[in-house]
Amino acid sequence: MRTSLRTILAACCIAASATILRAQELSAPGLPADTARTCPPAAATAATASGAPIAEHPKTINEKRRERGLTDPRNLFVPKGQWVFGGTASYSTHTNEGYQFLIVEGIDSKGYTVRVSPMIAYALTDNMALGGRFIYSRTLLELDKAELQLGDEGSDTDLKANNYYSLRHNYSVAAIWRQYIPLGRNKRFALFNETQLSVGGTQARFTNDSPVKGTYETGYTLSLGISPGIVAFATNNMAVEVNVGVMGISYTHTKQVHNQVTVGKRNTSMMNFKVNIFSIGLGMAFYL
């Protein structure tokens, strides 16, 4: 009887040992993740039992950027291989009759300004496009008369302008780089930033007084600017865009010839870090 009990106890011990060994094999590397997670490593179990914190691998800069979502490839707005055609246009006109502005009195003038800027770009990668833009503007001002008065009666200074005429043409070509930033998972609205590297020229004519005195002016400009904006899709292929210049660096060289005799030159450079309200553009674009 005692021998039978000893045999049964030995068999139970052997079965228990086999079960423990089998559990350890299931937690070994190379098995499915769900199975391995059911049996934590001995080191982690020991660290948890002792109350010591488990060391975590520090995140890299690229991992933190992906968490922010700006470089998340799932935030697709403009896919690779898409063409973008668009542009902006504006026109304004004015007429003054006996108008007074601050200390300038009796203004009789008329004029207009027209500006067009077609654009073409190609998406080399998702949410990024390279292309070109052409910009042309024409400004006309005809001032029949205006009077500037400074001081009071008896000691005032009176300056007058009569028969002043000004016509200016500006044209430039720019290489552009666009980066689109989707607003979350929204597929209709997105922010974009347009960087422009442009070179252009200008021509202008000025005349005044009687007999007529005239000045002819030519020049060129080099500039680097940034214009952020927002784009809203009205349809799947047509969008409305609004952008504004906020900063830029420019260099301008101008040459004047007065009455076909006197020659003058001017060089100007400027670094601008403020919003330019005169560069606000509203236009349309087609994504094909």
Q: Which two tokens stand for residue 50?
A: 């002792």
- Residue 287: the pLDDT is 87
- Residue 33: the pLDDT is 41
Q: For residue 169, what are the β-bridge partners?
A: 138, 203
Q: Which residue, among 130, 133, 139, 93, has the nearest Cα to 117 in the 3D structure?
A: 133
CATH 2.60.120 matches 77-287: no
pTM of the entire predicted model? 0.63
Domain spans of the chain, in order of start = 2-50, 77-287
- Residue 207: the pLDDT is 83
Q: Tens-digit pLDDT profile for the chain (288 aa)? A: 555 556 565 555 565 555 555 555 544 444 444 444 444 444 444 444 455 555 567 878 777 666 655 555 566 788 888 899 988 888 888 888 877 777 777 777 888 998 888 999 999 988 889 999 999 999 998 887 777 777 666 556 667 777 788 899 999 999 999 988 887 777 788 888 889 999 999 999 888 777 777 888 899 999 998 888 888 888 888 988 888 877 788 899 999 888 877 888 889 888 877 666 666 777 888 888
**Residue 121 exposed, middle or buried by CB count within 10 Å (0-12, 13-18, 19+):** buried
- Residue 40: the pLDDT is 46
Q: Which two tokens stand for residue 207?
A: 């005349």
